[in-house]
Structure 1
Amino acid sequence: MKEKIAQLWEKIKENRHMLVALGLTLVAATVYYFAWALPQTYADSTHIGFEEGRMDNNMWWASDARDYRDTGDNFFGNTEEESVLYRRPWLYPFIIGALRQYTPFDLDYSLWAFQFIMWLATAGFTLGAVFRATKKMGWAILATGVFWTHPSIIALTFHGMTEALNTLLIALFAFVVLKPRDADEKWAENKNYWLIFLMSLLLVTKPTYQVQLAILLLYILVISFKKWRVLRFWGKIALALIPLWIQLLLSWQILGYAIISDVAGPTLKYWTVTRVYAKAEAPDTPLPEIATIVEDWSREEEIAYLLNNKKAFISVYFNNLVEEGLLADSYFIVNDDNSMNIAIMTLNKWHFYLHLLMLPLMGYLLLFNYKGKWEAIWIIYLTFVIQILASGVSSDQGDRLIITALPLWIVAYSFAIGKLQTLKE
């Protein structure tokens, strides 16, 4: 026992700088969190805060949130509401259902507390990921501040939505991908499987990560081609994909066929095709009326229509991507004059210009570097870019489809900026 305590103490001393940095970061982040959350509790036209009479309404205000709640309750037999696991993948509803089933405390405050802890954990993993990337503690502390000073995810912790979990998994993914393969022999062998597992968890949180998982799988298969004849290699990949198998099995039980999510269909139809139709043919017609026109169109008809109206489609796509995504306000604050919403929109504008400034630099650096840590930065940055581009098919969601990528670009940009001094002319 004494030997174990001594080993633990040595480990603490060895990592004392990281522990102090983490502690100070989490304290500062917590103070900042409540400095926003407490005043918003009594602000007008907002769905944020701790007021007891409004907590239930805030948490389940969005229709998506009610889907997650009802599906989670259905998991544990606590409701007769229909399960929509074929649209909302299983991980987040399962977490909500488990909390609501087993917590001895108020159901809504328990979920808020859990999401607040996830927010703090995201800050911690972002700090660790930036430090792994740069080996500079001061830079890691400052860069992590870019995450916890953005009020948007603070607002999202008050809602039964996937964003807090999504952001945590993203930060954890960046933290894991940056652990060097030469850390130890066992890690070198298993790192790729852990990356697949984490991306699978992201997929069953948000189905938009299908492209990232497919690319990651393809990349790992290519670099591991010497293992193709080894049965254990395929077995470990199958195990790493367990979250995906669970989703396919659950959807098959409900629908009679396996699917990750059918949300892409309604998203394309009602958030893209209707707007393209309005722009190309009926600019004065309300979108709900146009929705009835395209309601019965097949997927092939929708794609054909978009291809036949390329200019309108490109215009709508980039409006969704920039105006209603990268430059958007909070999904949950109705009043544009709300101080928290103003802060969110201001920071989103600054981040947008930063993305533009960093785009040629990241392109230049990644084109000429791909070994060592650069492999990890390639994976991180590509995951970020695909997430941003995928958001262009949706609209009216505020910044919530994009804000979860914060840890990815914080880590990638920190590493790239840190390498500027060592660039060869």
Structure 2
Amino acid sequence: MALLKSINNLIAHHQLRLLNLIALLVFIIVVARMGFPSKEIMFVSPDAGGYLEVGNWLFGGAETDYTRIRPFLYPLVLKVLMSIGGVWAVWVVQVSLWLAAVNLIYLSIQRITFNNKAALFGGLICAFNISALSLAYHALSEELTIFLVGIFTYIVAKNFRENPVGLFHGMLLILVLLTLVKPVFFALSLVWLILALPVYMIAEYKRKPAQLTVLFLILIPLMIQLSMMISKYDIYNVSEIGNHSFRYYLFAQTYSVINELDIEVARTTIAPYTKDEMLAYAWDNIGAFVARYWLNIKQNVNAGAVYLYYPIDYPVLKTFMSNANHLYSWIHSLFVIPVVLIALRCLAQDRKKLLLILCLAIPCYYIIFSSGVSFTQGDRLVILSLPLWIVLYTLVYVQIAKMSKKQRIDLLKLKFKE
């Protein structure tokens, strides 16, 4: 038994080295096409300039309204890196985060499935995602977010069976950090805290009160951001980006369609609307809003990689990623039913594996569906789910592949008892 384990570990290490070699080759190909970083490219996006403004403000610079919509973590990282080595430091660190995400996906799948080939395949999907790598050339928070989501998947993979305390604290910590990079994760942080705290931790905190210190330390960064928003804007939220996106993207977009206006004219028109007025208008035109929201999701999932054609067009890389994203959209559609079926099977047979699936599936689909409030962002909004869906779908595929013919038939018949 020990010999078999040693052989398996040797194979796993060999495949991990192979994965990193292939990722390095992909990196070299991308650099050969896109070149090296420049300040003009790094800050071509208005979002990048906004992050830097917040970073400057954190270190005593001028006040900026971007603090209303940009939490402090990525601006802090960006400012520190720019101070150390300029755009080269930002680029090197973000490329390293991309490579780390590739490895985290491999390790997560290997830990869950004990299938080295499946782990290699999952890692390669991320390695060949040129869009994820291209974001390293821009001062945008997606690269850090993908890395943190990769850590999230690994924490879930490592702790879901034997360490509920580690699972709770680890997931909460990463969700808090993600919230301070992308406020869209705030809802997931609250849900996990409210639902998991009584299930996993109340008894543990009673038994070991010192564990409350860990919870307090995890929540400190979130409290800092909330305190800043309350003191500066009297807003009891981590960011106003959700309201901003709804007003100037989904609401303005649907308003422009209904009233046959240019989108910029629509944005100017609805700028004075109060929240109550927007909600009333949306309710009166709920069909149009739902249709536009759903269309945005479909377009975001199928979208190309923005920074492979803006500000410079890279035809080969752009075409490759466009085709890949179309393929991924089909994969998302294909796996919806299998994910549900395997979850139901685990509900009947393996509650801990059900927890694993839910911890991967809920944030994955939440990210995808939350993208419907915005548009013209390419795949930037949905690429954040990359580590989650790779690990989730690989797990589901391996589970089905291990079943006998009878078990697969029973799965389709919703017969889950052995």
Q: Measure how far apart 1:21 and its partner are.
A: 2.4
Map of 1:322 onto structure 2: 298
Q: Measure how far apart 1:254 and its partner are.
A: 2.8
Q: Measure how far apart 1:190 and its partner are.
A: 3.0
1:301–1:83 CA distance, 2 compared to 1 (3 A): closer
Between the aligned partners of 2:323 and 2:18, the Cα distance in structure 1 is: 26
Map of 2:369 onto structure 1: 389
* 8 A Cα contact 1:86 1:259, kept in partner: no
Q: 1:313 aligns with which of 282, 289, 292?
A: 289
Give me the TM-score of the superposition, normalised by structure 2. 0.88
Q: Counterpart amino acid of 2:141?
A: T
Q: Measure how far apart 1:255 and its partner are.
A: 2.5
Q: 1:208 aligns with which of 176, 184, 188?
A: 184
What is the 5 A alignment of 1:20-169? 20-41=14-35, 50=36, 55-77=38-60, 79-80=61-62, 82=64, 84-101=66-83, 103=84, 105=85, 107-169=86-148
What is the 5 A alignment of 1:154-193? 154-180=133-159, 187-193=163-169
Unaligned runs of 5+ in 2: 1-5, 411-418
Is 1:418 equivalent to 2:398 in the alignment? yes
Between the aligned partners of 2:250 and 2:103, the Cα distance in structure 1 is: 37
Map of 1:300 onto structure 2: 276
Q: Measure how far apart 1:305 and its partner are.
A: 1.0
Q: Measure how far apart 1:86 and its partner are.
A: 2.9
Q: Which has the higher helix share?
A: 2
Q: Counterpart amino acid of 2:226?
A: L
Between the aligned partners of 1:125 and 1:83, the Cα distance in structure 2 is: 36
SS of 2:306's partner is: coil
Between the aligned partners of 2:236 and 2:218, the Cα distance in structure 1 is: 19
1:81–1:255 CA distance, 2 compared to 1 (3 A): closer
Map of 1:219 onto structure 2: 195
Between the aligned partners of 2:266 and 2:129, the Cα distance in structure 1 is: 36
Please list the CA deviations of residues 37-89 of structure 1 after superposition, one character each: whole Å capped at 9, or x if unmatched: 32233xxxxxxxx16xxx11110011111111121122223x43526333111
Q: Measure how far apart 1:235 and its partner are.
A: 4.1
What is the 5 A alignment of 1:356-375? 356-370=333-347, 371-375=351-355
1:189–1:259 CA distance, 2 compared to 1 (3 A): closer
Q: Counterpart amino acid of 1:80?
A: A
Between the aligned partners of 2:327 and 2:161, the Cα distance in structure 1 is: 37
* 8 A Cα contact 1:197 1:243, kept in partner: no
* 8 A Cα contact 2:73 2:180, kept in partner: yes
Between the aligned partners of 1:81 and 1:298, the Cα distance in structure 2 is: 25
Size of the aligned set, in residue pairs, is 394
SS of 1:80's partner is: coil
Between the aligned partners of 2:326 and 2:124, the Cα distance in structure 1 is: 17
Identical positions, percent: 22
* 8 A Cα contact 2:161 2:352, kept in partner: no
SS of 1:369's partner is: helix
Is 1:409 equivalent to 2:389 in the alignment? yes
